C-alpha cells in the first residue's frame, strides 16, 4: 500500500457501484468517491500547488468535501488540519500561525470567524466551500476546472510513513498543540477498529460526531472506508434526527460520547428506533453506568474505547461481548497496541495498583507539530504518556481511575483549566483565579471559576462570565463563579486543586 487513498481506489476497482457515503444531499458510490478524491487532488496539486509536506486546513461541519480533502492530501503527501468549528477567531489565529497552512477551506457558516484573519496570514489562501465573497477563492469553481483535467493526481515518494493529520488538542499550558498522525497510524487505527467492532464491508456506519475530533473521524468513519463499508454522514449531531436515521437508514454501528448518549436517552420512546444497531461505541471520558445500563437492558452492547488524539485514538477497547459482561471497564489493549501502567519513577506497577497509563504502537502520534520540547516530554522510548491514571482488574482489563490531572471533559470536549485561567488573569480586578470541574448530570462536568478579587475592586459573576465572550469557545466558558479570599497552595506556591475541589 502506497498511501491510504489506495483504499478508495481499490474499492472503486472491485465494487464501483457499492455505496460509500450517504449524506443529507446525495449518495456516492466508491466509483464516484474515487472520482471526487482524484478531482480534489488535481485541484490541490495543479491549481493550488500543494506538494508533500504542505498543509491544508478545513473549517466546517462534516461533509463529503472534508473526506475528499483527507484522501486527496494522503495521495499528495500533504497534511490535513481539521479545525474545531466551536473555537473563536483568536483560537483559529493561533492554529494558522502555528501550522502555517497554504490554504484553508471554509464553509459559509464560519467565514465571519476567519475573515478578520485574511490580512494577518497573507501566505494562506482562503477558499470558500459553498459561498461567494470578495477575496475568497471558490471551491466549486476550481473543482469544475479540475473535473475534466487529464493531469496526474498524485506525488511520488508518498507512503504510509508520510504525516497526514495535524489535530489540535488543548494543552495544559493553555495553548493547543498539533498532534501529527502518520498514514501508518491511521492504517493501524483502522485495523484496531475493525477488530474492536468486527467490522466488515456489509456494515453501515452512522457518523454524527464532529470529524474534527479523532473520535468522529477515526473510531469508525475512516475504518469503514478501509473495509469498504457504507458511511451515513450527518453534518452534526441532533438527537431526534440521529434516532430517525437509525430507524430509516438502518446503520449497524454508531459512536456516541456520554453527552450524546444522554441526549438520546432523553428522547421519548428511544428504544423503538434502535433495532438495526449491533452495538454503540463510546468513550472520551469515564462513562457512568447510568448511561450504559438502559442500552444493556434492551440487549444493545455499549462498547467502551480508551484513547486520545495522540493515539489516533483507538488504544484500549472492549468487544461487544465484553461490553455486556464488564460495563465498568474500558477493555484490553488493542490488536496493534501495547499498554503499561507505571509509577512515578516509570516502573511497572503491580496488577490491581493504580498507575500512569502509557500507550505504545504504530497508532501513536509522530510528534507535536513544531514543539520538540512537548514531544520529548510525552514520548519515552516510544511510549506515549497519557497523563491518565488507571489499574487492571482481575481479568486484566483496564479501569480508568482518573483522567489527566486537571482536564475537564464536558459533553465530550476536552477543556484545560489553564486556558480559562489565562483569560481570568487578564481581567482587570482579578487578583488570582483557578478553574476546576464540577459534576454535571447532562454534560459530565462543567468548569467552575474560583476568583479572588483585587482589593478596592468589585466584580460580579455576570461580569466575569461575560468577559469570556469572544475570547474562548463558548463550550469552554465557566458555568459558575465562586468568590474566595485565598486559594489553597502548597509550599511551592502551586494551587492544590484537589483541596479546592473538596472545598466546593
**Which sequence spans correspond to the domains of the chain?**
6-158, 187-402, 408-503
pLDDT band at 485 (very low <50, low <70, confident <90, very high): very high
Listing DSSP states for 279-347 in one string gives EEEE-SSPPPHHHHHHHHHTT--EEEEE--GGG-S-SEE--HHHHHH-TTS-BEE-TT-EEEEE-TTSP
- CATH, domain 187-402, list 3.20.20.210, 3.40.50.12780, 3.40.50.2000, 3.30.43.10: 3.40.50.12780
Is there a common fold for 6-158 and 187-402?
yes
pLDDT band at 490 (very low <50, low <70, confident <90, very high): low
Predicted local distance difference test score (pLDDT) of residue 174: 59
Predicted local distance difference test score (pLDDT) of residue 419: 81
Predicted local distance difference test score (pLDDT) of residue 175: 78
> Can you give the pTM of this predicted structure?
0.86
* Angular region, 382: left φ>0, alpha ψ -120 to 50, beta rest: left
Domain 6-158 annotated CATH 3.40.50.12780 = yes
Side-chain half-sphere of 86: how many Cα atoms within 13 Å? Answer: 16
Residues 234 and 24: beta-carbon distance below 8 Å: yes
Domain made up of 408-503: CATH architecture: 2-Layer Sandwich (3.30)
Predicted local distance difference test score (pLDDT) of residue 148: 79
Which grid coordinates are listed for 252? Answer: 449497524
For 137-176, the pLDDT digits (tens) are: 999 999 998 887 788 999 999 999 999 999 998 654 557 8
Q: What is the mean pLDDT of residues 438-455?
A: 92
Flag whether pLDDT at 404 surpasses 70. no
Which positions ≥6 away from 146 have C-beta within 8 Å? Answer: 39, 40, 42, 43, 46, 47
Predicted local distance difference test score (pLDDT) of residue 327: 86
pLDDT band at 387 (very low <50, low <70, confident <90, very high): confident
* Three-state SS sequence of 179-191: EEEEHHHHHHHHH
Percentage of the residues of the chain whose pLDDT score is greater than 70: 96
**Least reliable range by pLDDT among 165-174, 308-317, 377-386:** 165-174
Predicted local distance difference test score (pLDDT) of residue 170: 65
Predicted local distance difference test score (pLDDT) of residue 492: 37
pLDDT band at 491 (very low <50, low <70, confident <90, very high): very low
Amino acid at each position: 500500500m502506497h498511501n491510504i487513498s489506495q483504499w478508495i481506489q481499490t474499492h472503486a476497482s472491485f465494487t464501483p457501484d457499492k455505496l460509500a457515503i450517504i449524506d443529507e444531499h446525495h449518495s456516492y458510490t466508491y466509483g464516484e468517491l474515487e472520482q471526487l478524491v482524484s478531482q480534489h487532488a488535481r485541484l490541490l496539486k495543479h491549481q493550488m500547488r500543494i506538494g508533500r509536506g504542505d498543509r491544508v486546513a478545513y473549517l466546517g461541519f462534516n461533509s463529503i468535501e472534508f473526506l475528499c480533502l483527507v484522501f486527496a492530501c494522503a495521495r499528495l503527501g500533504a497534511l490535513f488540519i481539521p479545525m474545531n468549528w466551536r473555537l473563536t477567531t483568536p483560537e483559529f489565529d493561533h492554529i494558522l500561525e502555528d501550522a502555517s497552512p497554504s490554504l484553508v477551506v471554509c464553509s459559509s457558516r464560519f467565514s465571519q470567524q476567519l475573515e478578520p484573519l485574511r490580512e494577518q496570514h497573507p501566505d494562506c489562501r482562503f477558499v470558500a466551500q459553498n459561498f461567494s465573497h470578495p477575496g475568497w477563492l471558490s471551491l466549486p469553481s476550481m473543482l469544475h476546472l479540475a473535473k475534466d483535467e487529464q493531469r496526474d493526481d498524485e506525488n511520488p515518494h508518498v507512503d504510509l510513513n508520510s504525516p497526514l493529520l495535524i489535530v489540535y488538542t488543548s494543552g495544559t499550558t493553555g495553548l493547543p498543540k498539533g498532534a501529527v498522525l502518520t498514514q501508518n497510524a491511521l492504517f493501524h487505527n483502522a485495523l484496531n477498529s475493525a477488530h474492536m467492532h468486527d467490522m466488515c464491508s456489509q456494515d453501515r456506519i452512522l457518523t454524527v460526531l464532529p470529524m474534527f475530533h479523532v473520535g468522529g473521524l477515526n473510531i469508525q468513519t475512516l475504518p469503514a472506508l478501509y473495509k469498504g463499508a457504507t458511511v451515513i454522514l450527518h453534518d452534526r449531531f441532533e438527537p431526534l434526527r440521529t434516532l430517525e436515521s437509525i430507524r430509516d437508514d438502518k446503520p449497524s454501528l454508531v459512536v456516541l460520547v456520554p453527552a450524546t448518549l444522554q441526549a438520546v436517552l432523553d428522547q421519548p420512546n428511544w428504544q423503538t428506533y434502535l433495532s438495526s444497531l449491533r452495538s454503540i461505541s463510546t468513550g472520551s471520558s469515564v462513562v457512568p453506568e447510568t448511561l450504559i445500563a438502559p442500552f444493556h437492558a434492551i440487549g444493545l452492547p455499549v462498547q467502551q474505547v480508551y484513547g486520545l488524539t495522540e493515539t489516533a485514538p483507538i488504544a484500549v477497547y472492549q468487544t461487544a461481548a465484553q461490553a455486556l459482561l464488564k460495563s465498568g471497564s474500558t477493555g484490553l489493549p488493542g490488536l496493534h497496541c501495547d499498554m503499561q501502567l507505571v509509577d512515578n519513577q516509570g516502573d511497572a506497577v503491580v496488577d490491581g495498583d493504580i498507575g500512569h497509563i502509557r500507550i505504545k504502537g504504530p497508532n501513536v502520534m509522530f510528534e507535536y507539530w513544531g514543539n520538540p520540547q512537548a514531544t520529548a516530554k510525552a514520548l519515552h522510548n516510544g511510549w506515549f504518556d497519557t497523563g491518565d491514571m488507571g489499574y487492571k482488574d482481575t481479568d486484566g482489563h483496564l479501569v480508568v481511575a482518573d483522567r489527566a490531572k486537571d482536564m475537564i471533559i464536558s459533553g465530550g470536549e476536552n477543556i484545560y483549566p489553564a486556558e480559562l485561567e489565562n483569560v481570568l488573569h487578564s481581567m482587570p480586578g482579578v487578583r488570582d483565579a483557578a478553574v476546576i470541574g464540577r459534576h454535571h448530570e447532562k454534560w459530565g462536568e462543567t468548569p467552575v471559576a474560583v476568583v479572588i478579587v483585587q482589593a478596592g475592586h468589585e466584580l460580579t459573576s455576570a461580569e466575569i462570565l461575560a468577559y469570556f465572550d469572544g475570547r474562548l469557545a463558548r463550550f469552554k466558558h465557566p458555568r459558575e463563579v465562586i468568590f474566595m479570599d485565598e486559594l489553597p497552595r502548597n509550599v511551592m506556591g502551586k494551587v492544590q486543586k484537589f483541596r479546592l475541589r473538596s472545598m466546593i
